[in-house]
Amino acid sequence: MHTEIIDRSDDFLALRDEWRALLSASAQNHLHLTHEYLLAWWKHLSGTASLRVILVRDGGDILAAAPMMIRRGTLLRWPVRRLEFVGAGWGYGGFILSTRKEECLQQIMGALQKLRGWDIISLGRMVADRDIDVSEVAARIPYKSVVHECIPAAVPYIPLEMTWDAYLAERSPSFKRNLRNRSRKLNAIGQVRFQRITRLVEAGLNVTTLMTWLRTTAERSWKAGEHTAISSNADVFAFYCELAERLNAIGCLDVSILWLDERPVAYIFGASYNGEFFEIDIAFDAQLSKASPGVYLRNCLLKELFEQNYRVYDFVAYFDYKKELTSHVRRHDVHVFYRRALYPLMLRSLRSVVRRTMPRMMTDYSDLSWGRQADVGA
């Protein structure tokens, strides 16, 4: 058994078939760890990051993989070099382990420790493995090399193994009242139509047409004013275009659009993978905010997902308004390792002070203070 480091995107591209086989044989068979998702993200959003994909091989066979990168960023406005998962900040990450998991994990963590050019290792939103306790990951790097801390984090989700009526029964009276009011307001403005697109060919569409609809909606959304719309950044828009194409090719594309007469007024860019739905991006026409077309659209989609035997609606990220939509959260603790050197340890001390005195500034971690206790391993 030995490790191999892939640091060229062309070499990672050539791994497609081996990667697919490894992922399908693992407990981490997750959308954000697919070759298609990782490659699209890396191509358009990696910036100046350096690729560091760690492979564990036995002979010619890949037993495990860790899609990692080293990226320059800031921590409390101080420059820092972070060793983290490819796509960090956009979804989930994890170590892909197919067999001999304990041995492979030891090999991966040993390889991470030996890599040069990082100040901190940040491992967040790790895809769970029933055979590996994530809390034990820290023990794989000797404390003589790093200082470890674990920050509680969580991501909200809606369990779909119930009925739409049962879901509504769990919601507050104001939620149900608002649902009726939004429907009435939208229908008073014009003809409302819900469209769900899972196969471009079956919908008579191509990626260009689909993304034009989404761009049109995004440019009229509040996100455009905040410069966070998918159309506000050319690299981000290119990522969504390529992701739509790649997800469509593997049968995972799941985009919903709400039409008002002949114009799109809300969309949810999502993906369906292994019985779970992932909400990747949502936007709606800000001029219709009082009618909440985004909420109306999500409810239309939820009704279908409840009926189609999906297991989970995953919000991927935490925002305060989601408290109204669900009380379920999955715990995904963030493990941070600071190299035992003067500068990284100074950053850790500063961060500890800020967390104690101004906790709301720590926006890179999800909030565990709401809803039910995190459903560990859900």
> Which among 44, 24, 43 is positioned nearest to 34, based on CA atoms?
24
Q: For the segment 269-311, what is each residue's pLDDT rounded down to a tens digit?
A: 999 999 999 999 999 999 999 899 999 999 999 999 999 989 9
Question: Do 2-153+332-361 and 161-310 come out as alike in CATH topology?
Answer: yes
Per-position pLDDT tens, the chain of length 378:
899 999 999 999 999 999 999 999 999 999 999 999 999 999 999 999 999 999 999 988 999 999 999 999 888 888 999 999 999 989 999 999 999 999 999 999 999 989 999 999 999 889 988 888 777 777 787 778 899 988 888 889 999 999 999 999 988 888 888 888 888 889 899 999 999 999 999 999 999 999 999 999 999 999 999 999 999 999 999 999 999 999 999 999 999 999 999 999 999 999 999 999 999 999 999 999 989 999 999 999 999 999 998 999 999 987 777 778 898 988 888 889 999 999 999 999 988 888 777 655 444 433 333 333 344 344
Residue 90 has what DSSP assignment?
A: S
3-class DSSP state of 35? helix
Contact 16, 246 (CB under 8 A): no
* CATH of 2-153+332-361 given 3.40.390, 3.40.50, 1.10.10, 3.40.630: 3.40.630
In the block, residue with structure tokens 């959304």: 221
What DSSP line would sit under 208-259, residue for residue? HHHHHHHHHHHTTSHHHHHT-STTS-HHHHHHHHHHHHHHHHTT-EEEEEEE
Residue-range domain boundaries for the chain: 2-153+332-361, 161-310
> Which among 266, 242, 243, 245 is positioned nearest to 256, based on CA atoms?
266
Structure tokens at 280: 């990747």
pLDDT at 177: 86
Start-to-end Cα distance in the chain: 32
**Residue 317 backbone class (left: φ over 0; alpha: ψ -120 to 50; beta: rest):** beta
Phi and psi for 257 in degrees, rounded to 5? Answer: -130, 135
What DSSP line would sit under 132-179, residue for residue? B-GGGGGGGS-TTTEEEEEE--EEEEEE-SS-HHHHHHHS-HHHHHHH
Contact 311, 161 (CB under 8 A): yes
Structure tokens at 235: 């690299």
The residue type found at 16 is: R
| CA dist., res. 182 & res. 180, Å (int) | 6
Considering the entire predicted model, what is its pTM?
0.91
Question: Which architecture characterizes domain 161-310 according to CATH?
Answer: 3-Layer(aba) Sandwich (3.40)
Structure tokens at 208: 């260009």
